[in-house]
Amino acid sequence: MDPFGQVWESSRTNAFSWGYTATLYAGVGVLIVLSVIQRDAFRRILKAIAIFGLAIIATQWSASEIEEKWRIRREWADTHPAEMTQEGYMGLTVDGANRSLGPLIYGFQAFLLFCVVAIALFVIRAMMFQRPVDSPIEATPEDEANFATDLSASDNPYHPPAEST
């Protein structure tokens, strides 16, 4: 492997590499904790704020990681121009374009992950706290006979007059 290839591979993990992953794990944990809030409106508002806020934080961490990766590669290329190949320069150019587009992609991925987790927690919560609905019981003829009242014989003045049949 050429020296620039070694620098390229070794710069993939840098001082900011832990931040994006930590934000994703923390975001999932925050969404789980927010799921225990009883009030529906309050819980949903907090989850929406958490999703957008954590997606922004994840975007920032990925931008820092990509910027540091690009800085390490660029500094090596500037100090070792004789060892750079045309492919290395092309890689730096593409990597420079990744500085602007990469954080956007990673931020969108984090946003989608948080949305999927929130929806899954919503479904789980709905299944856990769903009230059972009993099927209606069919009335037997005996029940109807027991509950039928003769309105014409009723002493209640608020009953409507009996219909003559």
Domain limits for position 110? 3-128
Please check whether residue 156 lies inside any domain of the structure. no
List the one residue out of 54, 69, 70 whose CA is nearest residue 106.
Answer: 54
Mean of per-residue pLDDT scores for the chain: 85
Mean pLDDT value across residues 51-80: 91
Residue 76 corresponds to which tokens in the numbers above? 């090596």
Q: For residues 87-97, give the mean pLDDT.
A: 82
157 pLDDT higher than 70: yes
Radius of gyration of the chain from its Cα atoms, rounded to whole angstroms = 33
Q: Count of CB atoms within 10 A of residue 50's CB? A: 17
- For residue 106, tell me if it sits in a domain: yes
Longest alpha-carbon distance in the chain: 113
Output the six-digit token pair for 49: 């704020």
Q: Would 143 be classed as within a structural domain?
A: no
Question: What is the reported pLDDT for 152?
Answer: 59
Confidence of residue 144 (pLDDT cuts 50, 70, 90): low
How far apart CA 7 and CA 95 sit, in angstroms, is 13
- Alpha-helical runs (H) found in the chain: 3-10, 17-34, 40-79, 86-128, 141-147
**Is 28 among the domain residues?**
yes
How many domains does the chain contain in total?
1
Q: What's the pLDDT score for residue 145?
A: 63
Whether residue 71 has pLDDT greater than 60: yes
Structure tokens at 150: 């003769």
In this structure, is residue 104 part of a structural domain? Answer: yes
Please check whether residue 161 lies inside any domain of the structure. Answer: no
Judged against a pLDDT cut of 90, whether residue 153 lies above it is answered with no
